[in-house]
Structure 1
Amino acid sequence: MKTRSLAGRVALATTLALTVTATAAACGSADGPAASGGPEKVTVWIMKDSVTDAFLDRFRTDFEARNKNIDLDIQIQEWDGIGEKVTAALASKDAPDVIEVGNTQVAQYAASGGVRDLSDKVAELNGADWLPGLAEPGKVDGRQYGIPWYAANRVVIYHKDHFAKAGVTPPGSQAEWLAVTEKLDTGTTQGIYLPGQNWYALSGFVWEEGGDLAVRDGAGWKGALDTPEARAGMDFYRRLQALGKGPKDSDEAKPPQADVFAKGDVAQIIAVPGGAKIVEEANPALKGKLGFFPIPGKTAGKPGAVFTGGSDLIVPEASTHPDAAYQVVKALAGETWQTDMARTMSYVPNRTSLARVIQDDEGTAAMAAGAAQGRATPNSPNWAAVEATNPVKQYMTAVLTGADPARAARAASESITKTLGS
């Protein structure tokens, strides 16, 4: 996630094929112990840009020194096409032993029956301390298939000079956020640049109201954007979005919101903290002028609910070294390497108790504060199909351009229900 935006990664991670195709080439080495009694060769798939090469080198050296009977074969995978590749690997007899997957992918992979149930390891891995937004998507029908690895979520990045000029400080509640943003919205300065289809931000507002995008309905799922709670979340989005000039019919990538913010006449954007570096690259004059605060919630002093993106670790059923694979997962998910990764990559660790290790970085600290209220998309194996057409975006644009909110919410919910039941 250092070179690919969170929105881009989440889009890739949640629009993957849902059918199993066992036509892929060999998925990775699964060599057993050598005839001479040599070490097991354990294959680990890590996604490109998730962590640095230096981090992986440190981990491999330390792990192999502590586990003389295991050799790690860490293979870097591209995000493009990874869904089909993982699905094929899970259906094969030649799977890697550990795979990094997007946290919202776990349900669809688990539905294939090719992912090992690690429920009996949760206590040993301090699962009670895991971030909800990572732990919940990894748990399907009461079984823990995905082990949380790292998280990232959106915060508010603000222009300190505009805040000082308006005589305001970072808000601590939604009501205060609206009031502050209204003061910042002067005509020459946008109070906030919020495009009309940032559905990740909307999801947080909906959850903060007690609503959801979709809910369980017996053995199936149904869309829930037409509930009073979800509609209240959309209404807050509408009021906030009106305090700037964000387009009503596109998301934060069209145009890239970092480029818009870099022009200097925008007071706030909603983005992952790393977005500030992109802004500063586009306009070096803004270096040192950008600050961060968690997305505010309804209750003063308590961050609002946010969408948590990130990765989990899974062990395929076809792994020929499941015990050694678990030792790799245990190490990567443990305090030592969680701390190293958080400081190296500015990620939120998988445990709430480890938030202290990133408190010296303003952006990451704001992200960690929000992560405690993190959530993930509905844990249906068909959710990826919803995002393929994304009626949530269409619903948002409809409301922002004057459509009847109740009718638009009902139509979006019906579309979600139909797709989740397909």
Structure 2
Amino acid sequence: MNTRSLRRTAIGAIAVLPLVLTACSGGGTGSASELSGEPVTLRVTWWGSDSRAELTNKAVAAFEKKYPKIKIKGQYKDWNGYWDALATTTAGKDSPDVVQMDELYLASYADRGALYDLGKAQKLLDTSAFDDASLATGQVDGTQYALPTGVGVSSVIVNTDLFEKYGVALPDDTKWTWNDYARIAKELTDKSGGRIHGAAGAPGFYAGDVKYWARQQGGELFDEEGNVSLKPEDLAGMWKYGLGLIASGASAQASTMVEDLTAGLTAGSFATGKTAMISAYNTQLTALQQATSAHLKPLRLPRLGDTEANFFKPSMYWAVSSQSKHPAEAAVFLDFMLNEPATAKLLKTDRGIPANKLMLAHLQQDLSGPDKAAADFMTTVPQGAPPVVTPNGGSGIEPALQRYAQEVYFKKTSPEAAAKAFVKELQSEIDAAK
């Protein structure tokens, strides 16, 4: 099981965020009920590639045509640079009006009063086409601070060509277990004569891994108070399972996993045909398909018991800064980006499969290939309740996980010792942010 991230971790931003945001206080407390009628310029910022910027700018042009008195000044950066810049401008009380937000940082910004309560903009921002589970992913302590642009679910993506080439049957993903996963991965390795590995790696590098694994044991990563509720023995059990995959040859070795972290999803061992299965979000199917000529198929994650451990993962959010002097206009911009059929057809799945059900219905008429497969797959996966949003101080969870996972998989630390140290470190960071 090789896990993944929708984005690289911004270690610099994680370090600076608590320091620069401590001066923030709640602003923008008034209700956004109507537009001013005066010409307004909104600053909008997001992270992403040049292609995302091109699509976003086309949507902006359509928005400005519909609302000629509202001009948009768009800015975008790569992931690391984005969070450094947002933290700095927010601390300087010069935050952009509209910001793209990630689950890792939502509570950090919300708890320090840096985000606007979107419940105050109900007259201008329609959320009726979002189900409760999707809306909950953008809430902190019951307040709607952000709206998800799209959602995804964890899956195992398989290279069906390699399964066929080496005579291995695809599993029934409504029934398979982690033991089945290990057996099938080893069978692929053995039947290929070691030319490939069945699995691209072992679990435990990303928060999504831990949340899913903990839920299967009846637990959660975080409790309702925002503290670490993960049992060290559950985390240790996940890493022990991974060590078994490596030892049997079912999984790629630890060195390959580290190389994959550096190479990225579309240049790693799965994309280059060296492994047959990878754990990834369904929304990453398109990128993987573009990176390989093989036939790919998403499967449900293996199960342990009857617990519905999977959940919607917001790909990203739109939020409004509490420092904005134009929250009404900002809310209208969000409404256009999230509720306009023409915008959905323009952006497609660039920011994830739309969390807005009406927009997804409009979009599905035009989807094809891996985009359609990813959207269709999401409707088949049973969902549990949305997990607690990463609490303030918990933004560094993935660098810490990756550090400890590598120590375990390179056999420098035992799973038990690493798990205890990880839980203690993460709780200490959360306590320090309170």
2:54 and 2:408 mapped to 1: Cα distance?
Answer: 47
Partner of 1:26: none
The root-mean-square deviation of aligned C-alpha atoms, in Å, is 4.0
Partner of 1:193: 200
1:353 and 1:208 mapped to 2: Cα distance?
Answer: 32
Where in structure 2 are the equivalents of 1:260-271 lying within 5 Å? 260-271=269-280
Q: TM-score, normalised by structure 2?
A: 0.74
Partner of 1:177: 181
Deviations 1:324-382 (A, max 9, x none): 01000111121525632552637311235655535633366336635864866752110
Change over 3 Å in CA distance of 1:97–1:191 after alignment to 2: same
Number of aligned positions between the proteins: 393
Equivalent AA in structure 2 for residue 269 of structure 1:
I
5+ residue gaps, structure 2 = 22-36
Partner of 2:325: 320
Change over 3 Å in CA distance of 1:38–1:421 after alignment to 2: closer
Change over 3 Å in CA distance of 1:349–1:262 after alignment to 2: closer
Equivalent AA in structure 2 for residue 420 of structure 1:
I
Q: Is the 8 A contact 1:214 1:225 kept in 2?
A: no
1:301 and 1:405 mapped to 2: Cα distance?
Answer: 26
Q: Is the 8 A contact 2:150 2:315 kept in 1?
A: yes
Q: Report the alpha carbon displacement of residue 181 of structure 1 after superposing the two structures with TM.
A: 2.6
- Determine if the alignment matches structure 1 residue 394 to structure 2 residue 399: no
- Determine if the alignment matches structure 1 residue 205 to structure 2 residue 209: no
Q: Report the alpha carbon displacement of residue 69 of structure 1 after superposing the two structures with TM.
A: 2.4
Q: Is the 8 A contact 1:214 1:222 kept in 2?
A: yes
Change over 3 Å in CA distance of 1:384–1:53 after alignment to 2: closer
Q: Report the alpha carbon displacement of residue 317 of structure 1 after superposing the two structures with TM.
A: 1.7
Where in structure 2 are the equivalents of 1:377-416 lying within 5 Å? 378-388=389-399, 390-391=400-401, 393-395=403-405, 397-398=407-408, 401=411, 405-416=415-426
Change over 3 Å in CA distance of 1:293–1:58 after alignment to 2: same
Which of 223, 227, 238 is the aligned partner of 1:221? 227
- 3-state SS, counterpart of residue 149 of structure 2: strand
1:105 and 1:50 mapped to 2: Cα distance?
Answer: 23
Q: Is the 8 A contact 1:160 1:290 kept in 2?
A: yes
2:300 and 2:52 mapped to 1: Cα distance?
Answer: 28
Equivalent AA in structure 1 for residue 67 of structure 2:
N
Change over 3 Å in CA distance of 1:332–1:237 after alignment to 2: farther
1:341 and 1:236 mapped to 2: Cα distance?
Answer: 43
Deviations 1:211-240 (A, max 9, x none): 333334xx5513514255x55555555555
Deviations 1:125-145 (A, max 9, x none): 33673484x644421111111
- 3-state SS, counterpart of residue 105 of structure 2: helix
Q: Report the alpha carbon displacement of residue 323 of structure 1 after superposing the two structures with TM.
A: 0.5
Partner of 1:329: 334
2:241 and 2:359 mapped to 1: Cα distance?
Answer: 32
2:358 and 2:309 mapped to 1: Cα distance?
Answer: 19
Deviations 1:25-81 (A, max 9, x none): xxxxxxxxxxxx862122211223286344234322322222232122222234333
Q: TM-score, normalised by structure 1?
A: 0.76
Q: Is the 8 A contact 1:194 1:245 kept in 2?
A: yes
1:351 and 1:64 mapped to 2: Cα distance?
Answer: 22
1:240 and 1:420 mapped to 2: Cα distance?
Answer: 32
Q: Is the 8 A contact 1:97 1:321 kept in 2?
A: yes
Change over 3 Å in CA distance of 1:237–1:337 after alignment to 2: farther
Partner of 1:28: none
